[in-house]
């Protein structure tokens, strides 16, 4: 997956970039058809905001979420939780849950 991290009013350090990369591995474990991810980290007065847009193969609209907290790492954790729920829901929709063998016709 192609990962892009940018910041507004905050310098994106190597530690923040590594933390985002580490957390996105959880999303890739749940669904392997993720194409790209764009994260925007913002600092507005005392509120740290993390926002992400993830491109998923076979889906026309990307998955989008945002989260805010008093700490940037907490905002990233909340964001990843939201994205994980959305990715798992999307995976359930595209997965065929029917039985693998057809029932015999009588």
Structure tokens at 57: 């193969």
Question: What pLDDT is stored for residue 24 in this prediction?
Answer: 93
Q: Is 78 exposed, middle or buried (0-12, 13-18, 19+ CB in 10 A)?
A: middle
> 2 has which bridge partners?
36
Give residue-wise pLDDT tens across range 17-64.
999 999 999 898 888 888 999 999 999 989 999 999 999 887 778 999
Does the 2-94 domain belong in CATH 3.30.160.100? yes
DSSP letter, residue 82: H
The average pLDDT across 7-17 equals: 94
- For residue 53 the two structure tokens come to 């847009």
Contact 51, 38 (CB under 8 A): no
The full set of domain ranges for the chain reads 2-94
Element (H, E) at 10: none
**For residues 14 and 105, which has the higher predicted lDDT (pLDDT)?**
14
Residue 16, pLDDT > 70, answer yes
* Closest among 79, 80, 52 to 68, alpha carbons compared: 79
Can you give the pLDDT at residue 100? 65
In the predicted model, is pLDDT for residue 75 greater than 90?
yes
- End-to-end alpha-carbon separation of the chain, Å? 48
């Amino acid at each position: 997956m192609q990962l892009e991290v940018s910041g507004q009013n905050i310098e994106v350090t190597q530690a923040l970039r590594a933390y985002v990369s580490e957390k996105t591995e959880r999303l890739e474990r749940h669904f392997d058809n993720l194409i790209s991810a764009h994260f925007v980290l913002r600092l507005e007065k005392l509120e740290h905001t993390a926002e992400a847009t993830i491109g998923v193969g076979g889906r026309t609209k990307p998955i989008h979420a945002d989260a805010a907290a008093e700490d940037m790492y907490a905002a990233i954790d909340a964001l990843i939780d939201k994205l994980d729920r959305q990715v798992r829901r999307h995976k359930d929709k595209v997965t065929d849950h029917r039985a693998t063998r057809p029932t015999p016709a009588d």
